[in-house]
Amino acid sequence: SIRDISKLEIYLNGKLKKLYNDMKSLFLDTNESKDFESFLGFLFNILTLLPYKKGLFDFKIADVENIRNLISEIKKQFVEKYCNPPYSDKIIEGYKKDNPFKIHQKLIRKILVRSFPLRRPNIFTLNYDLMFEKAMDKMGIVYVDGFVGTSERIFKPESFNFDFYYPATTTEGKVNRLERVIHLYKLHGSIDWIKVQSTPFNIMGIVKKSPEVLKKDEFLDLLVYPSPIKEGETIGFPYSEVFRR
């Protein structure tokens, strides 16, 4: 169970393995809650205290850099184990099945059965995976996810205000509103969101990378992980821009 830290398997070597075991033992001995979210918060608290409380911890290897590396490794293995990144063997094999997206497609079809004058339907998800995107691509549905561009997808949250129209068949200058359009809001990020250097054309410094070329660890810094600090992260950049829409 992901909620029980005592059952979470993290594969480490050397100093990080000893540090992880020490920290987990300390956590299990001193906390009533044993879930993963609390443990990650426990590590973040230690990371915050270490520079100011020398001698507070007995572990010689519990320095800021090692704690930071441990948190990063736990995040990476959390994604590998529970989020099925697109480069994983499990996801690659899953995509080969007849229709691994049928549940998502069933939900999408129900969402699209709406009266025409209504606003575009919104899907809000806390999941990092690409199941909704894959499902809508296979259904030929246009979705707005906050990114613009083709060869390079750049994060521009104002794109949630865009709409789609096409010329009518008459010569009266009328336009028709494109049907089958959905707004997709990923409130905790996505495994294909990558942080890059800001430029005048990409002020936010975030791009969406094709799963086929996505590398391990590229997306770790942008995800909102299950920890007590997630509330603060969701009201920070770039998620504050998503919530504003």
Write down the pLDDT at residue 29: 79
47-80 pLDDT, tens digit per residue, is 877 766 665 555 555 677 888 888 888 887 777 7
111-143 pLDDT, tens digit per residue, is 998 776 788 899 999 888 888 999 999 999 999
More confident residue, 78 or 202: 202
Pairing state between β 142-144 and 147-148: unpaired
Q: Give 1's pLDDT tier (boundaries 50, 70, 90).
A: very low
Question: Could you tell me the residue ranges of all domains in the chain?
Answer: 5-82, 90-244
Does the pLDDT at position 94 exceed 70?
A: no
More confident residue, 60 or 238: 238
Write down the pLDDT at residue 48: 78
Beta strand extents in the chain (DSSP E only): 122-125, 142-144, 147-148, 153-155, 165-167, 175-177, 181-186, 193-195, 206-208
Report the candidate in 88, 125, 90 with the shortest Cα–Cα distance to residue 104: 125
On average, the pLDDT of the chain sits at 79
Does the pLDDT at position 215 exceed 60?
A: yes
Q: Give 4's pLDDT tier (boundaries 50, 70, 90).
A: low
Write down the pLDDT at residue 121: 92
Q: Give 5's pLDDT tier (boundaries 50, 70, 90).
A: low
Cα 33 to chain centroid, rounded: 25
Q: Which amino acid is present at 190?
A: S
Does the pLDDT at position 178 exceed 70?
A: yes
175-184 CB burial, b ≥16 within 10 A, e <16:
eeeeeebbbb
